[in-house]
Structure 1
Amino acid sequence: MHNAEVPVVRTAGLSKTFGRTPAVESVDLHVRPGRIYGLLGPNGAGKSTTLKMVLGLLPPSSGEIQLFGRPWSRQALSRIGASINGPSFYGHLSARQNLMVHAHLLGVSGAEVDRVLAAVDLHGSGRKKAKSFSVGMQGRLALAMAMLGDPELLVLDEPQNGLDPEGTAALRAMLRRFTETGRTIVLSSHLLSEVASLADDIGLIAAGQLRYQGGIAEFAPDGDLERAYFALTGGVRA
């Protein structure tokens, strides 16, 4: 398992420009092991772009990325599970069949498929086709895919999108169990209350810039999360 003193993800001056438009500007992330790091910010703030650069899905325009204490490499990605841009699955296949396809690509066993099905509470879905799944079931399937191969780091982009309160609570419990074994999660969200209830540390991105990074208590010492959020994002409180 990863050294507890070394950041799982560290970026320095990470930037991305599309044409002449800056999407992410000089972001310095510091993700500690064994914790849930919530990347928070309004829609379009640069959260997904930042995560895509960390995962090698987008090349940075400038800056550095370290994974597990070393410069970014494709080899390090084998220690990471990710769900970006929502669930991606074969609609005509069951949850287990979908996972078997991914397991084959990763070179992991059917026993590992059964493990992640149980972990996300989909082991009873049987032959039901994924295209008929509820939003909550689709989210759990995406999480199961990310968990295949027992990664040390999970990177999840808006994992709670479309979930009802019950589904959100179930997701929260699953993610907490994951970090109890010393593993790490980075998740993005525009939902302040959800990040506050789940994350150990947060990074607040607005207009492509990291406006805050640290603990929840330090983010809003008076307990007024909304006031702190809108003060840093320049938004208007309703």
Structure 2
Amino acid sequence: MASTIVEARGVTKDFGTIQAVKGVDLSIAPGELFGLIGHNGAGKSTLFKMMLGLIPLTSGHIHLDGEPITGPRFRETRRKIGYLPENVVLYDNLTGLETLYFFADLKAVPRRECAALLDKVGLTAAAG
């Protein structure tokens, strides 16, 4: 395991003439909790999107669990990451259990674990 789970150095993101993220340096150790605090438009969501490889960096580098986000094995690393975006949209035509199946399939988690998870968080009644 890497000594840092998240390592960012000199990370910037420009959208034309707008610099959304400017020179971020960040080191997060395994098991460490962290949060990003800032006003709307400060670049928090943009930084997370870059860490997930969803948008490219303008400059700098980011490694997650020792893997560069542009590396050939990053897709495998990303499967281990949970990310809750600011605006979550659930499919209202799916039951609670079907929704968990959908996300379990995305993360290659066995579907047989889903019902127990609903029970664990007290949402068994939402299964159907």
TM over 0.5: yes
1:151-194 C-alpha deviation (Å, 9 max, x unpaired)? xxxxxxxxxxxxxxxxxxxxxxxxxxxxxxxxxxxxxxxxxxxx
Give 1:10's match in structure 2, choosing from 7, 10, 28. 7
- Offset at 1:119? 4.2
> Aligned to 1:16, what secondary structure does the other structure show?
strand
Indicate the residue corresponding to 1:87 in structure 2: 88
Amino acid at match of 1:65: I
Runs of 4+ in 1 over 6 A off after TM superposition: none
Give 1:42's match in structure 2, choosing from 31, 39, 44. 39
Indicate the residue corresponding to 2:48 in structure 1: 51
Amino acid at match of 2:75: R
Give 2:18's match in structure 1, choosing from 21, 40, 43. 21
CA distance in 1, matches of 2:35, 2:120: 22
1:32 aligns with 2:29: yes
Question: TM-score if structure 2 supplies the norm length?
Answer: 0.85
Indicate the residue corresponding to 1:102 in structure 2: 103
Which has the bigger relative contact order, CA under 8 A and spacing at least 6? 1
Indicate the residue corresponding to 2:126 in structure 1: 125
Q: Contact 2:11 / 2:23 at 8 angstroms: preserved in 1?
A: yes
> Aligned to 1:74, what secondary structure does the other structure show?
helix
The total of aligned residue pairs comes to 124
CA distance in 1, matches of 2:122, 2:42: 33
CA distance in 2, matches of 1:20, 1:67: 28
Question: TM-score if structure 1 supplies the norm length?
Answer: 0.48
Question: How has the CA–CA distance of structure 1 residues 105 and 79 changed in structure 2, closer, same or farther, with 3 Å as cutoff?
Answer: closer
CA distance in 1, matches of 2:5, 2:35: 14
- Offset at 1:76? 1.2
Structure 1 stretches of 5 or more lacking a match?
128-238
Structure 2 stretches of 5 or more lacking a match?
none
Indicate the residue corresponding to 1:227 in structure 2: none
CA distance in 1, matches of 2:121, 2:60: 36
Kindly, what percent of the aligned residue pairs are identical? Answer: 38
1:75 aligns with 2:76: yes
